[in-house]
Structure 1
Amino acid sequence: MLNGEEILLPFGPGEMPEVVLRILMKKHGLSFMPRHVGSALEAVGMLRSSRAKHAFLVEPAAGKAISALGIQIDAAGNPLRGCLDIRALWAETFPQSPYMPLGALAVFGSLADSREALTAIRASYVEGVIHAREHPRMALETTGVVFPVLGRSLEGMGVERVCDIHIMDSDHAAMMVTFFLTQLLEVSPASIGGRMPGEGFLRLSNARH
């Protein structure tokens, strides 16, 4: 359905969402015509006015587009038709590395030399993620209190989708990061500086666990 079609991209050429889309399309033997637009709001407007048929949106814009276009969702907040969840598509396409590594917890400066501080930070982070997954609505409400602008942008989204966070140990994370970087290198070498990082890049996460 998407092969050869125009897809709206509300971000600059070569940015990570576009590169990820190119990786997935290439893996499935598909191509597309990118059309870069100024913002997610513009993309949603073009979809609503039938000036475009497809757009690649990231949250929270994707959730707002689903609401604006009247697309029905199930109890978990997943669209019933007309939408592809890139996370689910990535897991289906690459079962050997089903999660995209989207974030890492890094500590710099003198604090990085304190094993006690690192242990406390890591334990607190893990505890927070577990709590958010078990109590997603409470987590969203807390977000709205601490970060009002972010909280408002997340309104109307399925709480399970917002709090779908996974924590990995260093060995699994290193494997998935390596796989992800390999895919980026194949499709867009410039996105990672033209070459894979040295071994020290991944050993850094193991040094101070």
Structure 2
Amino acid sequence: MTILTRRTTLQLLGGGAAAAAIGNPLGAASATELGLAGPPAPPTLYLSHMVTQPEITAMADTVKFQQWRSPDMLTAMMSNGQVQVAATPSNTAAILYNKGVKIKLLDITTWGVLHLITRRDDIKGLPDLKGKTLMSFFRGGMPDIVTRYLAGKQGLDFDKDVDVSYASTPMEGLQMFLAGKAETIILPEPAVTAAMLKSKIVGQPLNTFSLQDVWTEVTGGTRMPQAGTLVQSEWADKNPEKLAQIKASIASSVDWMNNEKDACAALGAKEFGLPMPIVRKSLDKVHMERVSAAEAREELEFFFTALSELSPKLIGGKLPDAGFYLD
């Protein structure tokens, strides 16, 4: 696939037109390059699959997918125009929007993939973490926030009662857990399944429970709108037909994840660096369903209000207004 350089563009377009195009980097990027990004977790798979679809590759001369490794990395990608479409924790999207970054939430696709895993027999729920150590990942990000909120609702003063350390990414956390550097850890799929299977092989059975189940117990909410897709608002406004295709392609790729799990596992093995059978088994435990942001607004506001009990900063200071939610 061809990447147009500045010199090539000038030669092809001619002086005046080319200069105008080069003088507007955002416009030029959106005309010739489409960037997609996702985290080292299940939402990456529908975006990674999308870049193989002719309807998406036809949108630009170059269509790129890459993984982001931290919320700060995602923020930089969206702010500098490197990426136009990204999978994101829902509260990260709210923070960006409330900070004035020109993004909108397109949908929610991922409804609870976080689990607590432990080698200890005396941890059956979050209250049992009192006086113990815990590893998580993305300090201050969605896994950390959700764990702190739920633990607080169950009587823990997280900062005082739990000794918490952090890995940079879930895959780093998985490796540290398997190496015996942590007894108890918060992980998403497919890292959860990898930990369970690899520990079983060496004769170290683990205890685990889903934070989605704890969320339901604590809040009465039926599901946790954990992650979805955001879009750069200027790109979306300038490209309504392409935006419509992005929506359709997300829906079809999520359906592909749910219905073509063997093929999805092969892609996941490549993206996550895990054996295909592990990724395949993990897909049976992941709830993927595309719901437009506008349709999910009530559930999102319930979720955001809960998180803001810890600190309003966790959603950017306030509930996002109606302009945040795309149909």
| TM category, shorter | 0.7 to 0.9
Question: Partners in 2 of 1:161 and 1:205 — Cα distance?
Answer: 28
Superposition TM-score, scaled by structure 1 size = 0.73
Question: Partners in 1 of 2:138 and 2:244 — Cα distance?
Answer: 38
Name the SS of the counterpart of 2:187 in structure 1: coil
Q: Which amino acid aligns with 2:154?
A: H
Question: Partners in 1 of 2:319 and 2:300 — Cα distance?
Answer: 11
Q: Map Cα deviations across residues 130-186 of structure 1 (whole Å, 9 max, x no partner).
A: 122122222222444xxx242536651422124x21211334421122122212211
2:176 is equivalent to residue 42 of structure 1:
yes
Checking the alignment, whether the CA contact within 8 Å between 1:6 and 1:33 is kept in structure 2 is: yes
Which one of 95, 113, 127 corresponds to residue 252 of structure 2?
127
1:107, distance to aligned residue in structure 2 (A): 4.2
Which of the pair is proportionally richer in strand? 2
Deviates more, 1:97-106 or 1:149-158: 149-158
Which one of 140, 161, 164 corresponds to residue 265 of structure 2?
140
Q: Which amino acid aligns with 1:43?
A: F
Q: RMSD across aligned C-alpha pairs, in angstroms? A: 2.9
2:196 is equivalent to residue 196 of structure 1:
no
Name the SS of the counterpart of 1:116 in structure 2: helix
Q: Which residue of 2 aligns with 1:77?
A: none
Q: Map Cα deviations across residues 49-100 of structure 1 (whole Å, 9 max, x no partner).
A: xxx54222233332222122218xxxxxxxx961012233323433335122
Q: Which amino acid aligns with 2:146?
A: V
Name the SS of the counterpart of 1:187 in structure 2: coil
Change (3 A) 1:96 1:180: same
How many residue pairs are counted as aligned between the two chains? 188
Q: Which residue of 2 aligns with 1:161?
A: 285
Q: Which amino acid aligns with 1:46?
A: G
Checking the alignment, whether the CA contact within 8 Å between 1:60 and 1:154 is kept in structure 2 is: no
Question: Partners in 1 of 2:183 and 2:268 — Cα distance?
Answer: 33
Checking the alignment, whether the CA contact within 8 Å between 2:305 and 2:319 is kept in structure 1 is: no
Change (3 A) 1:90 1:176: same
Checking the alignment, whether the CA contact within 8 Å between 1:87 and 1:100 is kept in structure 2 is: no
Q: Which residue of 2 aligns with 1:65?
A: 195
Change (3 A) 1:153 1:190: farther
Checking the alignment, whether the CA contact within 8 Å between 2:136 and 2:144 is kept in structure 1 is: no
Which one of 227, 236, 261 corresponds to residue 102 of structure 1?
227
Change (3 A) 1:13 1:59: same
Q: Which residue of 2 aligns with 1:187?
A: 310
Q: Map Cα deviations across residues 18-46 of structure 1 (whole Å, 9 max, x no partner).
A: 21101111222245413305441223323
Q: Which amino acid aligns with 1:70?
A: K
Which one of 162, 181, 201 corresponds to residue 33 of structure 1?
162
Higher relative contact order (CA 8 A, sep 6+): 2
Q: Which residue of 2 aligns with 1:75?
A: none
Change (3 A) 1:171 1:10: closer
Question: Partners in 2 of 1:127 and 1:192 — Cα distance?
Answer: 29
Q: Which residue of 1 aligns with 2:207?
A: 82
Question: Partners in 1 of 2:303 and 2:262 — Cα distance?
Answer: 31
Question: Partners in 2 of 1:167 and 1:109 — Cα distance?
Answer: 23
Percent of pairs identical after alignment?
Answer: 21
Question: Partners in 2 of 1:107 and 1:12 — Cα distance?
Answer: 23
Name the SS of the counterpart of 2:133 in structure 1: strand
Q: Which amino acid aligns with 1:44?
A: L
Unaligned residue ranges in structure 1 (runs of 5+): 72-79
2:243 is equivalent to residue 114 of structure 1:
no
Question: Partners in 1 of 2:136 and 2:276 — Cα distance?
Answer: 18
